[in-house]
Structure 1
Amino acid sequence: MITLQNRCFDEIEIGDYAGIQHTLAMRDIQLFATVAGDFNPTHLEAAFASNAGFSGATAPGMWLGAQVSGILGSQLPGPGTVYAGQSLQFHTAAILGDTLEISITVREKFPEDHIISFDCLCLNQHGQTIMTGVAKVVAPTEKITLVRPDAGLVSVQTHNAFELLLERCDKLPTFSAAIAHPCDESSLKVAIDAAAQGLLQPILVGPKNKILAVAEQYGLNIAGLRIEDVPHSHAAASRAVELVTSGEALILMKGSLHTDELMSAVVKSSLRTERRISHVFIMDVPTYHKTLLVTDAAINIYPDLLDKLDICQNAIDLAHVLGIAKPKVAILSAVETINPKILSTLDAASLCKMSDRGQITGATLDGPLALDNAISFESARIKKIESIVAGDADILLVPDLEAGNILAKQLTFMSNADAAGIVLGARVPIILTSRADNDRTKLASCAIACIITNAHNSPPPC
């Protein structure tokens, strides 16, 4: 608990001083933008600020004014202070990363109204004057000591993991993709957007009249995109798979048909390998400290132990392609101890031993782990779980589709996560998108497919 104590008008003398030192971080700027509605890109985007002549993103001037307010309300005079006025001048910009000294010094006192004026000053780490000014307050006349009130928990939630994936694709070739039945706005638009981004060269497979009608209805420009005309969604799934098996396309993508319809065509074709086909959600969770992979939440309903072996290895291989050299796999259950009545705990223990024996490679496994101790160091500490995976998992291997689907949707809709999706275990990556996905996650799914395709088609290192 932090205790605040004010200084009454009569206790304050000319020349009294209070101040703070603070290093300007992007979260300061983001919080201020959210509260004030000030989304000036000079403050939020380094490239825009650079074009405006600054060496980095800049603090809003009134963010500095808010720091003065914080000193007045919490330090001098402290609790009970009432603002009467403020006048500030800004001499140069505070740049992201600057260490700022912000201070107030008593300038004048007016006993008849208990008003005090303060000189305000902000300097950066180089001693440059950023801001000067005067603030006037009505100082308290009664002593107040209190525990600092709870103003509510505030967090800055940002998404940048998928932007980094898209940046990786800037250096990759554009890959051809067969899109099965893109006959609604969502699936047709992502094809157009992916082409515009240079990610994919889409081949639209479906009833031509339907595709053209959707494009006209929603004002989507599909000029220049190849259309493979087939009569219905079943035929679209079969033809899209044929295009991939023949090598005309290197990526398969689901349009507005059901997942089962597309996957049925896949499993009947030569795209199938000895590996079990499985799905991975690649999740950008603002409240977690790194990208999180969740598997399998879309394909295998009740996987057995050998299914989970393949599901696990598919996710590990994806993690490697994404740049995670030795991913940490948390095998989830309802508890973190082995219980013969809970089959998922037995599977978890077996998978860990399979890893020890080299049946699963390229990762560190631990399980069973409950979700809390898989992603929370504190939970693992409290439960005395000693594990390099606990609290730091890269991959969450769920017990079954129901658990995985609920977890992924909870993270998406209650934790504001972005979830890209990819199907693995076939000879090519298969992109699954949902109408509920935003444009960022749809493009991220395409980017992941491109990264996988590039890895599969690149010569092995010497």
Structure 2
Amino acid sequence: MIKTLGDIVKTAQEQPKMKLAVAAAQDSDVLQAVVEAKARGIVDAILIGNEEEIRKRETENNLDLSTFTIINIPDLMESALEAVKLVSTGEADFVMKGLLDTAILLKAVLDKEVGLRTENLLSHVMVYEVPTYHKLLFLTDGGMNIAPSLEEKKSILTNAIVAARAMNNKEVKVACLAAKEKVSDKMQATIDGDKLKQLSGEGYFGENVLVEGPIAFDLAISKNAAEIKKFRSPVAGETDILLVPTIEVGNGIGKALSYLANAKSAGIIMGAKAPVVLVSRADDAETKLYSIALGSVIAAAK
């Protein structure tokens, strides 16, 4: 079982090297992360974007891109389409967002001709290494789906389970977050959490997946809180995946972990034919490296 982001990097180094396509690669932190990922034997990369700007970043950051393939496509949409096409044709294994809006990249991912569209809903999964928690914590979806329905939550959870299984989790424990543990018709999150738990019991999410819901955040991540409140569940204090009811909850928890709990993180979009590395412009090169390694491990598992 992979317990740290460092373990993800190590796993990526030990498996066959993956090929990464970077859309709009003219971003300093992205380039630094890609260079580091290649130096560690994690990926080979194809850089698509404005070559003049890419070379400028190379010089400014004292990088060596001489061993990388660079495809000069200054237009952002065309750059995204080319990166996605390389994956859909098998010339690359996964794709990464560079210096372009997320909407542009996702439009390319969903393109009917060259995209990576499947029947699955696309959803964002963040993986956090929190100093006060004993294993990796998967958080979904604080980046894409605003107020998902029950059907959408089923897809979001399925995507996160695929990511967690790629980390060699023999058993995946899921907490469907709400403000309370009792089902209330006034709180949709409690209704959905209860239904997802029922579906899990019926085998909907596969073997060795335990879904608890509804459950509050404190019980999900603290055995002590669960004992004090006399809440009994094998998921309490052992959660792998936090399924949030809305994007605001996921966004808030994620940023609190990063800025107040000093958590390290990696981010990925799941639900396409291949992983899509998606990180914030505010994320540093280390976070982007972890995200590349995460995408590499998931791509290899697929």
Into which bin does the TM-score normalised by the smaller protein fall? Answer: over 0.9
User: Is the aligned partner of 1:332 residue 2:177?
Assistant: yes
Amino acid at match of 2:138: L
- Using the alignment, how far apart are the partners of 1:225 and 1:244 within structure 2? 17
Q: For structure 1, which segment, 164-173 or 317-326, has the greater mean C-alpha deviation from structure 2 after superposition?
A: 164-173
- Give the distance between the partners of 1:241 and 1:177, measured in 2 at CA: 10
Q: What is the CA distance between 1:197 and its match in structure 2?
A: 1.3
Query: Helix, strand or coil: the match of 1:170?
Result: helix
2:136: which partner in 1? Answer: 291
2:197 to 349, 352, 368: 352
User: Which residue in the other structure is 2:46 paired with?
Assistant: 203
Tell which structure's C-alpha radius of gyration is larger: 1
Alignment partners' CA distance in 2, 1:454 and 1:307: 26
What are the within-5 Å matches in structure 2 for residues 144-293 of structure 1? 161-269=4-112, 270-293=115-138
Partners of 2:29 and 2:285 within 8 A in 1? no
Deviations 1:414-445 (A, max 9, x none): 00100111111111111112343343332221
Structure 1 residue 439 corresponds to structure 2 residue 282:
no
Structure 2, unmatched stretches of 5+, are none
Point out the structure with the larger strand share: 1
Separation in structure 1 between the aligned mates of residue 227 and residue 179 of structure 2, nearest angstrom: 18
Secondary structure at 2:226 match in 1? helix
Taking the aligned partners of 1:358 and 1:268, their CA distance within structure 2 comes to 33
CA contact (8 A) 2:34 2:289 kept: no
Point out 4+ residue stretches in structure 1 off by more than 6 angstroms: none
On the 8 A contact 1:380/1:391 being kept in 2, the answer is: yes
Q: 1:454 maps to what in 2? A: 300
Verify the 8 A CA contact 2:30 2:288 in the aligned structure 1.
Answer: no
Distance 1:217 1:446 in 2: 22
1:359 Cα offset (Å): 2.1
Distance 1:195 1:392 in 2: 34
Aligned length in residues: 297
SS in 2 for 1:436: coil
Q: How does 1:345-424 map to 2 (within 5 A)?
A: 345-362=190-207, 363-424=209-270
1:429 to 272, 275, 280: 275
- Identify the residue that residue 38 of structure 1 maps to in structure 2: none
Distance between the aligned counterparts of 1:439 and 1:287, measured in 2?
Answer: 23
Query: Which structure has more helix as a fraction of its residues?
Result: 2
CA distance in 1, matches of 2:127, 2:25: 23
For the residues of structure 2 that align with 1:446 and 1:365, how far apart are their CA atoms? 28
User: 1:206 and 1:262 mapped to 2: Cα distance?
Assistant: 13
Q: CA deviation at 1:339?
A: 1.3
1:150-179 alpha-carbon deviations (Å, 9 max, x no partner) = xxxxxxxxxx81222222222212211110
Q: Note the 1:303-314 alignment, pairs <5 A.
A: 303-314=148-159
State the distance in 1 between where 2:61 and 2:298 align.
32
Residue type of the alignment partner of 2:254: A
Match of 2:164 in 1: 319
Distance 1:255 1:297 in 2: 20
Aligned residue for 2:14, secondary structure, equals coil
Query: Where do 5+ consecutive residues of structure 1 fail to align?
Result: 1-159, 457-462
Question: What is the percentage of aligned positions where both structures have the same residue?
Answer: 39
Give yes or no for contact 1:195–1:201 (8 Å, CA) kept in 2: yes
Question: More relative contact order in 1 or in 2 (CA 8 Å, sep 6+)?
Answer: 2
| TM-score for the superposition, normalised by structure 2 | 0.94
| CA root-mean-square deviation | 1.4
- Could you tell me whether the CA contact under 8 Å between 1:331 and 1:367 is conserved in 2? yes
